[in-house]
């Protein structure tokens, strides 16, 4: 792999397994220095050791056990990154949980709230902590992981669905706030992944997540789901100079021809394509719904 991230320094949250770890591997192979963050110390240590074995001499792979929903942890993580890596150019907000499963009136409310704190507040806190640094250097890449809940209802997994819609709209909004500062902010829809989160759905069973969603999840488990490297390749592209100027978009790793997008920057920048928007009646050919 070409060292397209040589000299760049990245923080990846939720990096000890699944897609976060796959993204970390791609970044290490591309030459970046990496700060890995996760809550599970044992898994994080194992992930760091594997990445260190892949790294070239002089390449820095460091880690920090942190909970991104804690403002104190986030501030310490960012300060530790500056200390150990000497700065930061790329933030991958990958940490996330499904949260409680079941109908809204019966799920544990504390678990519901904690899901919002991790999936939404965690990403926002990371952005708040890093933005002054990104603005000062007039460069930064924020890569936000989304999910199916951003664009479709997910009955009985409401905390996850709400959090993913919210964080995509935050990414779009923040991209407009910093437009013109050299900071690009995008969200990734990685497709249906066969990770520990899928196992959670299957373990919860059809009574909690609904028969239809359970059946789709079971089919996904058997078929293999979307390859992890699809989402990781898109995360690598969005971290690289090839994506400069692409911002405020929700990008499907599986369905969008994102590798061709740099050739169409003017069209992308002036269009609301690949964003969250309301569908009006006229968009579906209704003659009676709109003025």
CATH number reported for the structural domain that contains residue 251 in this entry: 3.40.50.720
d(CA 48, CA 33): 12
Q: Of these residues, 27, 121, 160, 214, which one is catalytic?
A: 160
pTM, to two decimals: 0.94
Q: Is there a catalytic annotation at residue 160? A: yes
Model pLDDT, residue 200: 77
Model pLDDT for residues 44-101, shown as the tens digit of each residue? 999 999 999 999 999 999 999 999 999 999 999 999 999 999 999 999 999 999 999 9
For the cut 80, the answer to whether the pLDDT of residue 267 exceeds it is: yes
Environment class of 80 (CB within 10 Å of its CB; exposed 0-12, middle 13-18, buried 19+): middle
Model pLDDT, residue 194: 67
232 and 112 inside one domain: yes
Model pLDDT for residues 146-182, shown as the tens digit of each residue? 977 788 889 999 999 999 999 999 999 999 999 999 9
Across all residues in the chain, what is the average pLDDT? 93
Model pLDDT, residue 196: 72
Model pLDDT, residue 50: 97
169 and 64 inside one domain: yes
197 and 183 inside one domain: no
Number of domains present in the structure of the chain: 2
**CA torsion sign, 39 to 80 to 147 to 27?**
negative
For 105-161, list the strands marked E by DSSP: 140-145
Answer yes or no: is 1 within a domain.
Answer: no
144 and 251 inside one domain: yes
Range of the domain at 181: 9-191+227-271
Residue with tokens 């250097």: 137
Crossing angle of helices 158-177 and 109-116, rounded to 10°: 20
Answer yes or no: is 276 within a domain.
Answer: no
Gap between the terminal Cα atoms of the chain: 54
CB 182 within 8 A of CB 245: no
CB 201 within 8 A of CB 169: no
Model pLDDT for residues 190-240, shown as the tens digit of each residue? 977 767 777 878 888 888 888 888 788 878 777 777 788 999 999 999 999
The most distant pair of C-alpha atoms in the chain lies apart, rounded to whole Å, by: 66
Among residues 111, 74, 110, the alpha carbon closest in space to that of 93 is found at 74
81 and 186 inside one domain: yes
């Amino acid at each position: 792999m070409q060292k397209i991230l040589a000299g760049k320094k990245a923080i990846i949250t939720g990096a000890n397994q699944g897609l976060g770890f796959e993204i970390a591997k791609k970044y290490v192979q591309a030459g970046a220095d990496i700060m890995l963050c996760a809550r599970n110390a044992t898994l994080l240590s194992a992930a760091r050791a594997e990445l260190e074995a892949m790294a070239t001499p002089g390449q820095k792979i460091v880690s920090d056990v942190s909970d991104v929903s804690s403002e104190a942890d986030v501030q310490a993580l960012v300060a530790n990154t500056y200390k150990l890596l000497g700065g930061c150019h790329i933030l991958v907000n990958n940490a996330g949980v499904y949260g409680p499963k079941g109908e809204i009136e019966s799920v544990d409310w504390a678990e519901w709230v904690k899901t919002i704190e991790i999936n939404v507040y965690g990403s926002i806190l990371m952005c708040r902590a890093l933005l002054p640094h990104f603005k000062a250097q007039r460069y930064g890449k924020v890569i936000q992981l989304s999910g199916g809940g951003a664009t479709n209802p997910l009955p009985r997994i409401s905390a996850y669905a709400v959090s993913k819609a919210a964080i995509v709209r935050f990414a779009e909004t923040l991209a407009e706030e910093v437009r013109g500062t050299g900071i690009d902010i995008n969200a990734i829809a990685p497709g249906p992944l066969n990770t520990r989160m899928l196992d959670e759905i299957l373990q919860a069973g059809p009574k909690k997540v609904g028969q239809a969603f359970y059946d789709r999840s079971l089919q996904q488990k058997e078929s293999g789901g979307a390859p992890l490297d699809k989402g990781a390749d898109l995360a690598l592209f969005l971290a690289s100079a090839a994506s400069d100027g692409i911002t405020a978009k929700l990008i499907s790793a599986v369905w969008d021809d994102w590798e061709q997008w740099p050739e169409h920057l003017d069209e992308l920048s002036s269009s609301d394509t690949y964003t969250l928007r309301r569908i009006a009646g006229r968009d579906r050919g209704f003659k009676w719904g709109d003025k």
